[in-house]
Amino acid sequence: MFGSLSKKLKGVLTFDELAERSERHIEVAISDDAKESTWLQQLDANLEWFEAWLDRHNDMLRRIADSPSRTEQIIALRRETLEAIEQSTEALSFLLDELSEEDKRVLATAAHPDMSFEEVGAFYCEGYVYAQASTRCLRLISFELEDAKKDDWLDLYMDIYGEYVRASNREIVAQAKGETDLLGALLPVDKQIVDDAREKVLQGLNWNYNREARSYNQET
């Protein structure tokens, strides 16, 4: 399954080696003008957030370091990246989606009944910054390990997972309001597309973004 990876990548990085790479990427990103560095810069400006994020991020790195082989370590790195992407996408969908404030309040109550609307907003804002920062660090490590590529699975997965989250949110709001979302019937299809893409990623596969995106658009 992972033959193409195992041929060129050998050895396992320890937690200390992974943490050292992350620290180096953080230092560069804090002084970088690139858009994707914004999240680490925001964390750097808030010590409390930075320390909380770093604890979570180091937990990710420990799980990756526990892999018994380089191939499995790369898959673990992809898995953590997928979860960070999913967290940031879910947060961004709530923060910036086309839902009205009324519908966002309905969604917040359904998703987090024990939190106020303002607390849910703060929760998603913090989670988005955390997840974006971790995604950047994990991707840069993945490039160093010669796994990530410029036009690999990342952008397509973000696209299809984003569509799934938006559809799911609409369905949750519709059900809570006793209404029918006409596109709700397509939600299982969106979920299957996400699951299929996730499985490909965790099998160690890469693909051309433009070709796969065209195929995805034809299916939907």
| Structure confidence by residue, pLDDT tens digits, 110-166 | 989 999 999 999 999 999 999 999 998 999 899 888 888 877 889 889 999 999 999
Comparing 29-38, 79-88, 109-118, the range with the smallest average pLDDT is 29-38
pLDDT of residue 40: 82
Give the contacts of 19 (CB within 8 A, at least 6 positions apart): 58, 61
Query: What percentage of the chain has pLDDT greater than the value 90?
Result: 51
The CA distance from 220 to 215, in Å, is 9
- How many residues are there in the chain? 220
The pLDDT tens digits for 166-219 are 999 988 888 888 887 666 677 898 999 999 999 999 998 876 656 655 665 565
Which range is most confident: 23-27, 41-45, 46-50, 104-108? 104-108
- C-beta separation of 184 from 174 below 8 A: yes
| Residue 13 burial (10 A CB sphere; 0-12, 13-18, 19+) | buried
The pLDDT-based confidence of 63 (bands split at 50, 70, 90) is very high
Give the contacts of 210 (CB within 8 A, at least 6 positions apart): 151
pLDDT of residue 209: 56
Computed over every residue of the chain, the mean pLDDT equals 85
Mean pLDDT throughout 93-120? 91
Domain ranges of the chain: 3-219
Higher model confidence: residue 9 or residue 52? 52
- C-beta separation of 9 from 70 below 8 A: yes
pLDDT of residue 99: 84
**What SS3 class is residue 208?**
coil
The CA distance from 107 to 98, in Å, is 13
Please check the confidence at residue 8 and state whether its pLDDT lies above 50.
no
Mean pLDDT throughout 76-88? 96
